[in-house]
A = this chain, B = another copy of it.
Amino acid sequence: MKLCWIHPTTANDALAPLWQKLDAAVRPALHPSTELEFRFLPKSGNFVRSAYAEHINSVHIVEAALKAEADGFDGIFLGCWNDPLWEAREVLSVPVGSVSEQSMLAALAMGKRLAVVTVSQKTTVAIENDLLAYGLRDRAIVRPVRTILPESDAELLLGAVSDPYAAFIPRVEEVAKACIADGADVILIGCAYYGPLLRMAGYTEVPGTGVPVVDSSTVALKYLEAMTDIAMKLGTVKSTRLQLRAPPREALDQARRSLSLI
């Protein structure tokens, strides 16, 4: 099985330590026979926190997903909580997973009420919209997606590669405890990168609470691995009625050409 993890940005060498740590954290969680390739986008807005900016970036992500399928990958992982999940799933024939949907589904089987701790105010909006569209409101607390403050930036992220306890974890823990007070019994890390970093640092539970801090990325990728295995062995991928029915490729390409994507 070959899986493709699509980063939501262009390659950024300044973050090389992060990419190495991410690889080291995620790859061992997969089956030995599963191949994983990380791919960066050729073009990207690179984390502009805005609905429209993310909408634009989603085009790059779907295009990368289409290319990955054409290149023979068996399953596609959208490696960011800002994802075009439904759009990609519509136009692809292989399983598509996202950090967001797959980790939330996993959380449903881990507890009763989830909360997501994310890294910026704008991201709370995007994730909560997804959660509502997934129909999972009743399995989450009030204001189910909350951000650390101050928001994350490149410095915080790079710092967390070497030592998340110095700055990142205290911010997460403060929010997580407020979520628990409001009824959360599972905490998802609402960023594709911090989750693996926390797990590698051994921070997998809000101390003293019994509430797991879930490495959403790796858990979600494992779910995609299962979905892909189901597709390959059982042939079941998705409905092709209504929402997820792919348009004729030529019609789709007509739209893609309007943005010079092909």
Name A's B-contacting residues (CB within 8 A).
Answer: 28-29, 31, 43-46, 48-53, 55-60, 62, 84, 86-88, 90-91, 95, 97, 101-102, 105-106, 108-112, 121-122, 124-125, 129, 132-139, 142-143, 180, 182-183, 185-186, 199, 204, 209-212, 214-215, 218-219, 222-223, 225-227, 229-230, 233-247, 251-252, 254-256, 258-261
Task: Name which of A51, A137, A214 has the most chain B CB atoms within 10 A of its CB.
Answer: A51
B91 engages A238 (CB within 8 Å):
no
A260 engages B260 (CB within 8 Å):
yes
B242 engages A185 (CB within 8 Å):
yes
B243 engages A51 (CB within 8 Å):
yes
User: A246 — nearest CB in chain B belongs to which residue?
Assistant: B50
Complex formed: what's the CA distance from A212 to B230 in Å?
13
B52 engages A243 (CB within 8 Å):
no
Main SS of chain A's interface residues?
A: helix
Q: Which residues of chain B are within 8 angstroms of A101 by Cβ–Cβ distance?
A: 108-109
Complex formed: what's the CA distance from A28 to B233 in Å?
8
B226 engages A239 (CB within 8 Å):
no
Taking A106-B227, A142-B183, A222-B234 as known contacts, 5 extra A-B pairs with beta carbons closer than 8 A to each other, sorted by chain A number, are A53-B254, A56-B59, A142-B142, A219-B234, A259-B259
Q: Which residues of chain B are within 8 angstroms of A60 by Cβ–Cβ distance?
A: 258-259
Taking the closest CB of chain B, its distance from the CB of A148, in whole angstroms, is 15
Nearest first, the 4 closest Cβ-Cβ pairs linking A and B are: A45-B255, A111-B239, A50-B247, A135-B138
